[in-house]
Amino acid sequence: MDIYTIKGKEKSAGFTPQERESFEKRILGQPSSAGAAGLRDVWRERHPERVEYTYWSYRGGNYATNRGWRLDYTLVHPELAGGRAAGKKGSGNGNREDSDGEDEGGSDGEEEEEEENAKKSLIHDVFHLAHVRGSDHCPIGVTISAEGHGEELV
């Protein structure tokens, strides 16, 4: 999901089975004496089904055809993310300019659970700015609410 196609990429830097396993174990794994950081990929938590990229190779005009990878992550400490990343379920591609601001809804229980998680999390928003060009990577961003201050830090 985080890469346009896996065909032929199994030996590419950043996508080998060993690298993916190590990332999962050492970066996202539960903190332990084995050295796992226990960080949270809050973009993927907020957008579990969304296909969106942050890197497009210059070769073959990959940006124009949206053949990319999500190589840039928003990783945060679990205490910052709360029970899980807060936020609504969205549609579209997650870029701020494309967001319609409407919630797709869900059952009352799901909405209550999301509200409770939103209270625990300091993550207000996490996004990719795929429309901003200047490199083969796009900017990514996170808005963090200042706990108890009613302000936002970007």
Residues 36-86 have pLDDT tens digits of: 888 999 999 999 999 999 999 998 899 999 999 999 999 999 888 886 433
Is residue 49 classed exposed, middle or buried when 0-12, 13-18 and 19+ CB atoms within 10 A define those classes?
A: exposed
Contact criterion met (CB below 8 Å) for 147 and 82: no
φ and ψ at 128, to 5 degrees? -115, 140
Lowest mean pLDDT among 17-21, 58-62, 114-118, 135-139: 114-118
Q: What is the pLDDT of residue 73?
A: 93
Give the largest CA-CA distance in the chain.
Answer: 49
pLDDT for residue 9 is more than 90:
no
DSSP sequence for 61-106 = GTTTTT--B-----EE-HHHHTTS-------TT--GGG--------
pLDDT for residue 151 is more than 50:
yes
φ and ψ at 127, to 5 degrees? -155, 160
- Regarding pTM above 0.95, the answer is no
